Homo-oligomer: A and B are copies of this chain.
Amino acid sequence: MTWSPDGMPLYALVMAGGAGTRFWPLSRRSRPKQMLPFAQGRSLLASTVERLAPLVPLERTLVATSLEMADAVRAELPQLPVRNLLAEPTGRDTAACVGWAAWRMARSNPKAVMVVVPADHLIPDGSALRTALAGAAATAAARGGLVTLALRPTHAETGYGYLELGEVMGAAAGRPVQVVKRFVEKPSRALAEEFVAAGNYCWNSGMFAWTVEAIRGAIREHLPELAAGLDELMAAADELGEEEAVRQRYASLPRVSVDFGVMEKAKPVWAVGVDFAWSDVGSWAGLAEALPSQDAGVTMGDVVALDTSGSVLVSEGPLVAVVGVHDLVVVATPDAVLVVPKDQAQRVKELVERLREGGRDELL
């Protein structure tokens, strides 16, 4: 079921600027996680944009990424209008990126309502996501303030930020709307366990909704330097064209996240509670949990496995042939093969570091 936005001028920002080494050797500098084919053979980025499309058409969807990845993103999203790609010449974290998009949208439609989603999450039930985002957008339009999607924690994860939620103030698209009392950065194990036991804490999903007016107001209030920089950038764009203005000025915007720079300071912030299946696919082990599993585990590409279980077996090149292995990650590309026990999957970073030290740049 798709909740209808009832004529609300809904816009989307897809944040696709992430880098990272946790999916090496599939991920490379020029091909980070959001470009990997983890969504039934399609990239996380393409599937994110597709998932939004019934709610927000491509003409009103902006995709932000780095200048280096811009060509790859265009290739992945051939139907995205050229102008809708926000290519950051240098990373200035999420507040600048959200701000750029909001300033742009304000010019298209001052009444725009904006949803923000990361490009590298796995959410199998697109309809549930759209319903939640539409509910969050309606909440933002009706109540003002900033809205975040709050994920019910399934375990005491220490890798995510948490939201402390207050009482239920209403409902949106059938889900509770609560005020956010506090943002908590990645907690200790003990604290995470307390949060999960307490019941009024949720994971901060990184998915947001707000009116363009509200987010611009919040940036003006809490990050005035960013607001001024964006005003100047847009003025320069009128003279020089946006590409040149961005090239000259983007690097001078303050570097801060939208969570730390805006959300943690703004009032009110609303949370719309959601409970659809979700994964930020944080590692090869996370992929094994997020994707449907066959006998051998999760397999992608040309794989032959005998007497194998609980494994992640991925090929983008050579046949991967395994026998008698359990809970192992094997990833093969034409130039590199990774083998690591699933419960040590995060140690891929150590390998990448070793390659970097060894000057093996061609593999990174």
Determine how close the nearest CB of chain B comes to the CB of A364; give it in whole angstroms: 11
Determine how close the nearest CB of chain B comes to the CB of A346; give it in whole angstroms: 10
Contact with A347, one of B320, B323, B341, B344 (Cβ below 8 angstroms): B323
Known contacts A321-B351, A340-B323; decide if A332 and B332 are in contact (CB<8 Å).
yes
CA distance A340 to B350 in the complex (A): 23
Question: Which residues of A (291-339) have their CB < 8 Å from a CB of B?
Answer: 304, 306-307, 315, 317-325, 328, 330, 332-339
CA distance A92 to B34 in the complex (A): 58
A306 to chain B: which residues have CB within 8 Å? 347, 350-351, 354
Asked if residues A318 and B321 are in contact (CB atoms below 8 Å), the reply is no
Binds B, one of A46-54, A219-227, A355-363: A355-363
Asked if residues A341 and B324 are in contact (CB atoms below 8 Å), the reply is yes
Asked if residues A355 and B324 are in contact (CB atoms below 8 Å), the reply is no
Determine if A99 is an interface residue (Cβ-Cβ < 8 Å).
Answer: no
Asked if residues A25 and B321 are in contact (CB atoms below 8 Å), the reply is yes
Bitwise interface map of A from 44 to 66 toward B, beta carbon under 8 Å scored 1, else 0: 00000000000000000000000
CA distance A324 to B350 in the complex (A): 11
A333 to chain B: which residues have CB within 8 Å? 318
Asked if residues A337 and B347 are in contact (CB atoms below 8 Å), the reply is no
CA distance A335 to B304 in the complex (A): 13
CA distance A27 to B263 in the complex (A): 60
Asked if residues B321 and A330 are in contact (CB atoms below 8 Å), the reply is no
Determine if A16 is an interface residue (Cβ-Cβ < 8 Å).
Answer: no
A interface list, Cβ under 8 A from B = 25, 304, 306-307, 315, 317-325, 328, 330, 332-341, 344, 347-348, 350-351, 354-355, 358, 360, 363
Counting from the closest, the 8 A-B pairs by CB-CB distance are: A324-B344, A319-B336, A322-B339, A323-B347, A332-B337, A321-B351, A318-B337, A323-B340
What would be 29 A-B contacts, judged by CB atoms less than 8 Å apart?
A304-B358, A306-B347, A306-B350, A317-B318, A318-B318, A318-B334, A318-B335, A318-B336, A318-B337, A319-B335, A319-B337, A319-B355, A319-B363, A321-B337, A321-B338, A321-B351, A321-B355, A322-B340, A323-B339, A323-B344, A324-B347, A325-B328, A325-B339, A325-B340, A328-B339, A330-B339, A332-B337, A334-B334, A337-B337
